[in-house]
Structures are given as C-alpha cells and as structure tokens.
Amino acid sequence: MDPEPLPEAKRECLPVTEAVRPEWAGIDLMATLDLVRLMNSEDRSVPEAVAGQLEQIAAAVDAVVTRMTRGGRLVYAGAGTAGRIGVLDASECPPTFNTAPGQVVGLLAGGPQALVSAVEGAEDRPELALADLEELKLTPDDTVVGISASGRTPYVVAAVRHARTTGALTLGLACTRGSELVAAAALGIEVEVGPEVLAGSTRLKAGTAQKLVLNLLSTAVMVRLGKTYGNLMVDLRAGNEKLRDRAERIVAQATGADEKTVRRALTATDGRAKDAVLVVLADVDAPTAARLLAASDGRLREALALSTRKA
C-alpha cells in the first residue's frame, strides 16, 4: 500500500530533504540492479548542486584562511549524519596536513558516543551546543561551520548563533534554501539536492553533498595555508612505514633527487617531508630549513625564495 499523503499544511513545513517522491514508492519491489541504478542516477545530481555554490565556498575558504593565519581554529558542528561527516573531516586533517591538535575540531551532538550509536534527542537540545562551544572558548579568529541537511537542527542553529556572539566567523551549510541555519550565519552554502530516494535518509544525497563541500573547504584552506607544494602533500611527518614510503615519494617528486639523497634528508629532518624538500632544493641543513619555514609561516615556496635571497 502506498504511504498516505501528508496534509497540505504539514507538507509545506517540511524541508525539501524530507519530501517524498511518489514515483519511488515501490523501490522495495524493484530488481536490485534497477534499485542501484536509480540511486546512482540520483547521486549524479549532487556534484552539479555543489558546483552551483562554488563562489560561496571560495568566499568561505578565503575568510577562514584569514582567521587561521592569525591562529584561529576551524570548528564543525552537526548532529547525526551531518555531525559525523564534520568529525570525519576534522579527524583527517592531522594525518593529511599535519595540523596542530585542536586546529580543526568536529563537534557532534551527543558527544563521541553519538559517532557509533544514536543519542536520542541530542540534536534537539540547544544547550548542548552552548556547552560544547563554551568549552572551546571561541575567539574572533575562529570559524564555526554549522552543518544540517534541513537547516533547522536546534543543536546546529544554536551553535552558530552562539558563535556569532563571540565574534567568530560563522558558516551555515544546508541542503535546502532559505533555512534558519543559513539565516543565522554570516556566510551560507545552500546545496539543494532534492528529495532522497529513501525519503528522509539524509545520509544519501545530502550526506554526499556535505562531504563534497567539506572536502573542498578544508582542502582549499590547507592549500592556502601552505600545507602543500603544488599538488604534493608535503606537510607530512612520517610516523609509520606507510607514511615513510609516502614521504619518500613526495620528496622525490618535489626535488627530483635520488633515493639516497631523499632518505638522508628525511632522516636529518626527523621524517618531515616539507623540511626535507627544502634541505634538498635549497641545499641547507635541517636546522636552517626549519628556521626558513618558521620565518615563512610554513609556506615552502616562500621559504625557498627566502633561502635564495639569503644566499
């Protein structure tokens, strides 16, 4: 039996992420291949929806970089799927870009327990957001990104509103237009992906859109902060065998040096790939490389230019 349609007044209150497409009511009767084809077809619309927000994303990147250059932090706040995606992005920044502890933070309604099991009601409690942010002691150099598919999650809206009172930059990321979240934030990114194949399951297209946006945001921020050299992930410290292999490849690609030279540079710099590249290209010792990078705010190209001027 098809689901009963909602009364008109109730339907108008629902965000587009909760809408039901009647033509998909029989997905449980579909052949498996047809089902996954339908889902895949819908997923193709997500990158296009994200592309429509690139100017807003770029503006957010520049604003975040300005603050992080002054020592600010990037803080994600979300609930459920959106919160877990924020925590995932934050947790990937230290191994990928050697960010300092606490430089990129993921806050999830309900705390760490909510990563693996639902904490019922946590997303509806604004006071939890205030407590989480008060613990961080926000400053005007910080950025708080509220993530909510519907754009109306109480925990997330409260986080953004509180952050604005501290002078922090606020960004609302929603998968619907005209949301309470975006209205509360200084900057807004609205990626409208439409109804889900499985009505209301925002871990699907909405979750994919959120992941794509955070990929763009954090990666572009790190590039602007000098965490890369060209498209090489040079801000890497080799702490295990996989990372040692990766560091050797990166230093070799950046410098064109032979294996022996690369390994010697990495040994001298305690596995720091960025320092090792500078050791090879500028022909300096490890302490000098470290000083040049410190004087250049960690930007390798600037450190190389500085080494040339000092030579």
- Nearest in space to 50 (alpha carbons), one of 217, 183, 231: 217
**Tokens 């927000």 appear where?**
53
The single-letter code of the amino acid at 109 is A
Given the residues 8, 12, 42, 92, the one annotated as active site: 92
Active site residue 135: no
Who's near 309: CB < 8 A, 6+ residues apart? none
Instruction: Quickly count: other Cβ atoms within 10 Å of residue 143's Cβ.
Output: 27
HSE on the CB side for 30, CA within 13 Å? Answer: 15
Distances 222 to 25, 64, 275 between C-alpha atoms, Å: 43, 10, 17
Ramachandran sector of residue 135 (left: φ over 0; alpha: ψ -120 to 50; beta: rest)? alpha
Catalytic (active site) residue 123: yes
- At 278, give phi and psi (nearest 5°): -65, -40
Give residue 257's region: left, alpha or beta (phi > 0; psi -120 to 50): beta
Strands 143-148 and 104-108: unpaired
Which of 8, 55, 120, 123 does the annotation list as catalytic?
123
Residues labelled as active-site residues: 92, 123
